[in-house]
Structure formats: structure tokens, C-alpha cells
């Protein structure tokens, strides 16, 4: 599938899944803005992509919880490249704790990054997509958009919420040519997951190996992690899909951990 010079903004693209999506989009002929809290890392990611695909990437400093920074970042991309065809709302973090110990400040931070970030970036790009009569919005959900796990109240709540936002934008955007979908990965070995392994081992009183084998991969069909490249392929498929036949959907890529 080809992106034919389409313009994408990928949030949280300085690392992990977002970075793999940005690279895949550039390889498929798209242009991609690496929007991340960490400007240095975003610039390094953009430089790496431009080395292989000259002019295909730019770095944008953006805290997705800040309406001003989101609007300024989207304006920077539109000024430079003339529009936005694809948004991948991907920036995210993880904080694990049982509900009774979950700090209210951490709860609010989680919902701000995952939900406010998805709302603010969608709100900022939609007028540009509607003006053009086409666009694709992707939200990075999770198997935790479908299932719960202990210790992850804020994450599970936010990831379930993204399914509602994806479906609502699909209904609002349909007649204006804008599609909206949710990608739901299983566990992918990124810094976000590496950080959780010792935290969960401590909280659950088991070894790190048991966290990986039993907690993270125990319900997969083959004991395998999903990879960033698996998710990048799904993100390309959704972004390049040519019609409204595929909107308001969620796709789970998790080695069979969750089956629809």
C-alpha cells in the first residue's frame, strides 16, 4: 500500500511504536511529522528518516496535553506542507498501581495524555481534513481497550475511552471523507513495557520472567510479543485504505491474547 506523498502527524513518534509507524509511512511514500514531548529525540528520529527518504520527516515539539502546543504543532505542519491527511494519536505512558494506592495526580496525568491528547490533536486536524474532504485518524488503543488487567485502572479506562472517540469521529466525519479507527496492540517490547516489568514483578510478588511469561504473554497463542513492525503494518493499512468501508473499527493485533 502506498501513501503517495500524504502528510501524517504521528504523536509520540520519537520512540517505540510511533517511531516504527513514522518510518513505515516514509517508506510507503508519505511525509511524516514526528510530534513528541522530547524535541531532541524527535529531531534524531526525523534525521534518521530523512537520511533514507530526503525531505520526508520533520520534528515537532508537542506536549499532547497542551492545547496551545497541539495547535501550534499542527499549524507548523500545515504551514510547511500544506495540510494534514493522517493523524496517528499514539503518545502514551503507563503508570501501574492498585486503585487504592493510585495517586489522583497520576490518574489525571494518564487521562490527560491518552484522552485529552487524542481529543486535542483530533480537534486540531479535523478542520484541515474536512476542508480537503478526506483524512484518516488512528488512535493507539490496546488490548486494554477490550480487557482489564489489575494495576492498570487509568490505562484501561483511557484505552476503553478511545474506542468511543474513534467511533464518534467516524460518525461525524463519514460524510466529510474522514475515517477514524483504533489499533489495539498486545504487549510490544518498547521502553513503555520494559519499565513495567520490574514494577509489576514487585507489585505482584513474582519474578520478572514470570511477569513476561505469565502476565504479559500467558494468554497469547504462541508466547510471542507483538512487534513495532506488526503495528506499523496495521497503521499503514488503516491509513492507506481507500474508502469509508473501514471506519469506526478496532483491530486487535496481539498474538491471539484477545480474540474478537
Q: How far apart are the first and last CA of the chain?
A: 25
Query: Strand ranges (DSSP E) for the chain?
Result: 7-11, 31-36, 57-61, 86-89, 135-140, 178-185, 250-253
Comparison of 245 and 259: residue with beta carbon closer to ligand NAD: 259
* Residue 92 is a binding residue for ligand NAD (CB under 6 A): yes
Please tell me the count of residues contacting ligand NAD according to CB under 6 A.
28
Q: Is 209 exposed, middle or buried (0-12, 13-18, 19+ CB in 10 A)?
A: exposed
Active site residue 130: no
Q: Residue 51, Cβ neighbours under 10 Å: how many?
A: 10
- Residue 121, interface with ligand NAD (CB under 6 A)? no
Q: Is 73 in the site for ligand NAD (CB under 6 A)?
A: no
Residue 215 CB contacts under 8 Å (≥ 6 apart), including other chains: 149, 200, 204, 206
Quote the cell numbers at residue 131. 476542508
Distance CA 113, CA 118 (A): 8
Quick check: 29 and 40 in contact, CB under 8 A?
A: no
User: Using the rule CB under 6 A, which residue among 58, 63, 87, 240 binds ligand NAD?
Assistant: 63
By CB under 6 A, tell whether 113 contacts ligand NAD. yes
Site for ligand NAD in 123-152 (CB under 6 A): 140, 142
Closer residue to ligand NAD in complex, CB, 7/140: 140
CB of 197 to ligand NAD, least distance (A): 11
**Least CB distance to ligand NAD at residue 73 (A):** 9
Q: Which of 25, 81, 139, 155 is catalytic?
A: 155
Catalytic residues: 155
Binding site for ligand NAD (CB under 6 A): 11-12, 14-18, 36-38, 62-65, 90-93, 113, 140, 142, 185, 187-188, 190-193
Amino acid at each position: 500500500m502506498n501513501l503517495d506523498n500524504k502528510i501524517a502527524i504521528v504523536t509520540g513518534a520519537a520512540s517505540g511504536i510511533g517511531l516504527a509507524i513514522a518510518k513505515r509511512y516514509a517508506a510507503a511514500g508519505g511525509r511524516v511529522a514526528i510530534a513528541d514531548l522530547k524535541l531532541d529525540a524527535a529531531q534524531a528520529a526525523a534525521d534518521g528518516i530523512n537520511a533514507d527518504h530526503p525531505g520526508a520527516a520533520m520534528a515537532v515539539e508537542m506536549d499532547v496535553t497542551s492545547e496551545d502546543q497541539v495547535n501550534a504543532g499542527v499549524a507548523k505542519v500545515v504551514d510547511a506542507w500544506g495540510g494534514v491527511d493522517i493523524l496517528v494519536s499514539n503518545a502514551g505512558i503507563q503508570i501501574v498501581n492498585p486503585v487504592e494506592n493510585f495517586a489522583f495526580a497520576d490518574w489525571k496525568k494518564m487521562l490527560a495524555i491518552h484522552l485529552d491528547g487524542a481529543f486535542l490533536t483530533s480537534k486540531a486536524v479535523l478542520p484541515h481534513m474536512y476542508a480537503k474532504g478526506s483524512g484518516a485518524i488512528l488512535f493507539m488503543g490496546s488490548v486494554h481497550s477490550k480487557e482489564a488487567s489489575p494495576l492498570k485502572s487509568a490505562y484501561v479506562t483511557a484505552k476503553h475511552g478511545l474506542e468511543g472517540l474513534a467511533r464518534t469521529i467516524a460518525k461525524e466525519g463519514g460524510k466529510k471523507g474522514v475515517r477514524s479507527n483504533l489499533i489495539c496492540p498486545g504487549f510490544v517490547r518498547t521502553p513503555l513495557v520494559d519499565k513495567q516489568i520490574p514494577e509489576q514483578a514487585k507489585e505482584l510478588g513474582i519474578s520478572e520472567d514470570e511477569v513476561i511469561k505469565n502476565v504479559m504473554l500467558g494468554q497469547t497463542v504462541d508466547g510471542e510479543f507483538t512487534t513495532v513492525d506488526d503495528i506499523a503494518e496495521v497503521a499503514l493499512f488503516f491509513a492507506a485504505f481507500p474508502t469509508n468501508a473501514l471506519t469506526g473499527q478496532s483491530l486487535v493485533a496481539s498474538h491471539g491474547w484477545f480474540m474478537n
